[in-house]
Structures are given as C-alpha cells and as structure tokens.
Amino acid sequence: MQIHGSAKEMVDFIKQKFKIRQCKNFKSNKRVCLNYHIGRCLGPCVNKVSKEEYRKQIDEIIDFLDGKEQTIIKKLKTEMEEASEKQDYEKAAYLRDKMLAIENISQKQKVSNINENAIDVIGIAKNNLTACIEIFFVRQSKMIGRENYFFNDLSELDEKEILSEFVKQYYLNNENIPSKIMVSDEIEDKELLEEILTKKSNKKVEIKHPQKGEKLRFVEMAQNNAKVSLENKVNDKYNILNELKELLELEQLPRKIECYDISNLSGTNVVAGMCVLQDGIVNKKLSRRFKIKTVIGQDDPACMKEVISRRLKHSIENPNGGFGKLPDVIFVDGGITQLRAAQEAIAEYNLAIPIYGMVKNDKHTTRALIDENKKELPLSQELKNLITKFQDTVHDTAIEYHRKLRDVEVKKSKLDNIKGIGDKKKAELLKKFKTIQEIKNAKLEDLTQIKGITEELAKKIKKEL
C-alpha cells in the first residue's frame, strides 16, 4: 500500500487548484501581481472578485481539508454544466480540470479498509544517537498528511519508553486530538491517558496497538517511513561531515569534534566549556565544564592551554573514562592566540589533532574557520548552520557555569558574613526574595516576616548589603 500526500503536497495542491491570494503583504494594492496574470489568483486585493465568490473558494478549501471531496466535486459538476450551457467553455474547462484534480488526489489519499473518521498512526525508529517518530494523519478514511520528529540524546531510553513519552507530551499539549491513536508499541499508563484525552476532547479517545490485519500493516508502514526518514537524516549528517573532511583536508571522517570556550568577568570565576559534535549531532551528554586552576587573572590563551591539556590527559591516562577517546578535530571559540595556545597543549603530548578557530560575523553567527596561519576557510550555508549551533552551545555551557559560580560566590560572601544569619535564615531569605539584590531592596517589614529576623537584624542586613 503506497502512501501519497504530505502536508507540503496538500499546501502546494491548494495553491495550484484554488485561486486564493498568496501575497505576504495582505494590504490592498494598486495593481495585481503575477499570480493573477497566470491564473493562480482571483485578484481580491484590487477587487477583481466579489467577496461572495472569494469566500466560496475559502469554503471549498475548508471542505477539502475536512475530507468532503465528494461535496466539492458535486458542486463543481453542477457549475461546470451551467457554464457549458452558457457557452462559457473556458470556465467549464477550468472547473472540469479542478474537479479531476480533486478526484485524483482523493484517490491517492484513500486508505483501504480503514473506515475511521479520525486516526493518527505513529511509528518509531531509533539508532544510537537519534530517534525519529513518524505520524500519519488519517481523516475521513483518507491520508491527509504526515509529520516526523527527531530527538537526540536518548540513547539510554528504548523505543517503547520514547514512544510513551512522546504520545503523552504531544497530545496533552495538542487541541487536535483524533478519536483513535494507533501506535507501534504499548503505551505506559494507556488507560489513564485515554481518560484524560477523552475528557479534554469531549469525545471517546482510544490508543490501540494493532496485532494483525490492515491496521497493523498501516502501523508498520509508519515505522518504515520513520526508518527511511532516520536514514535520510543520517545520510545528511554523513554528507555534511564529508564536506567538512574535504574542506579541512582530513584523512578520515571527523566523527568526533570537540569545541572549547572560555568565560570570565574581569578575570574572576574563570571557567571553560567543552561540547562534542558526535557524528554530526551535538551530544550534550558529553559536554564538560572546567574551573580554571592554574591561571590568575584574565588570560584566555593560558586558560585555553590549561583546559586542553587537562582534557587530553584524561583520555591518555584513562581511555575508557568519561571523556572517551580523543577527538578527531578541535574547534576553539576565540582568536588566533587561543588557537595557538591549544596547539601548544596538543604538542606537549606529541599528538597530531587538527585544530581550528571559529570566526563570527557581526550578526554573531559563524562566518568561517581559521587555521594556524589565520587563513579563513569559507563555509557552505549548511556548515555555517551546523558550526554556529555548535559554537552557541559551547558558549552557553561556559557562560552558564560562570554565572552559577558567580551566584554561589555572591550568595556566600554577602550573607554568610552577616552575624546572626545562619544557614536556615539564609535559605529562608533566598527562598522568599530569590536574589541578593531583592533582599537588598526589600523593606524592613518584609524582612522581619522571616522567622527569627528581628527589626534590628533586618537593619543590619540592609546595612551590610
């Protein structure tokens, strides 16, 4: 059984066969656009069509999306006959072609032997890094579209667990709930979820795991589509890694790339973030954070050298440890000085790991990679998108760790030095006011609402802060 028609195909069909306006700017114009001249629009922006006639087009689209093709075809046939009687053969030919097109796509969407008004069919496929879930939308016994969703960092969950979590989150946050959901495996808490969805949609909702017949084959088809989509995703990642391999003139595919960024504020709480691009996907489980130990003050290149050295030492001394094998390539966020500092760390271990710097444009997206000679390596748009995401991820990792340490330090230094404030009172103050700044700005009467804080102690807190 071959499935035709995705959401995109449906939109394209509507644009071709229904003459509705497609302009991005819906204000009135002084003249019609090209779509009107090629017969793709009725020109409502310059009153080339009455409101009633245009509204009829919209109503037909609504009926079409609701699966009421036969209602539309019946109307079109009547209009076509009327146009022929009036010898308006051009209009009659247009109505005939439109009617035939709707009949054709209706047959393509037909799902044999599934006589249900509203069904979602869900399949799943998974590899070591990524899971893909495919949903078929069946309405009035016709396939009206499909969607797929990809999820990373789910290696510890099996397909059944992923499917259960997806179904719960997807439908509990969705207003368009079908009467039946067919899945490729049993769902945890099925009865409870059915009860919740039934109450939410004001109709009986069932979650089924077909064991035989046409419905089982349809679920298997959703699974097969998920496998194909996942394979295509993997191929896309392979292609982009192969492109990167050619750009960097590497001997092997860069399956593991590590990226580093330094974060500090005036030389205080200096930290670094490390993120990993594994087979073209940012693997957040392999991210690491470093607190700088040997560098005093603001010296980003020295910090970069320390971090790279510590990271390499981990894998050299313990290849089966948490850092895993050494990277195929290293990217650093920063200038040529950071890049060369990282090279020094690599050289100390007599390793030959290629290293490149990431250069951003004025819009804070990756513009290019640079080598040790400051030569810029131009990137395709696909590589720019991938490396920008990689660069943003490691930057966020570093900055979040820096903020965490800074907040801990602020809380500790400001409150712990006030005589009369112990751990319990400190916890209550932070629970109520959230931040040191809010405690500082609070009124005396608000502070004294905390158990154990007298007016005298409240004044002392205000004074110290």
DSSP assignment of 329-344 equals: EEEEES-HHHHHHHHH
**pTM of the prediction?**
0.57
First-last CA distance in the chain: 72
Domains by residue range for the chain, with CATH: 7-108 (no CATH), 118-232 (3.30.420.10), 256-407 (3.30.420.340), 416-464 (1.10.150)
Kind plus residue range of the DSSP H or E element containing 379: none
Q: 89-93, 110-114, 199-203, 412-416 — which one is most confidently predicted on average? A: 199-203
State pLDDT tens for residues 9-41: 666 667 767 777 877 665 656 677 777 777 778
pLDDT over 90 at 350, yes or no? yes
Asked if the model's pLDDT at residue 1 lies above 50, the reply is: no
**CB neighbour burial string for 52-69, b if at least 16 within 10 angstroms, e if fewer:** eebeebeebeeebeebeb
CB–CB of 378/368 below 8 Å?
yes
Local confidence band at 3 (pLDDT 50, 70, 90 cut-offs): very low
What confidence score (pLDDT) does residue 406 get?
72
Q: What is the pLDDT of residue 189?
A: 86
Q: Catalogue the E-assigned strands of 142-255.
A: 142-152, 180-183, 206-208
Q: Average pLDDT, whole number, for the chain?
A: 83
What pLDDT score does 2 carry? 33
For residue 97, give the 3-state DSSP assignment: helix
Tens-place pLDDT, residues 43-82: 888 888 888 888 888 888 777 766 677 788 888 888 888 8
Average pLDDT (175-180) is 87
Tens of pLDDT along 423-443? 788 778 878 887 778 888 888
Q: Which of 94-103, 229-238, 393-402 has the lowest mean pLDDT?
A: 94-103
**Token pair listed for 139:** 């309405």
Q: Tell me the C-alpha distance between 82 and 86, whole Å.
A: 6
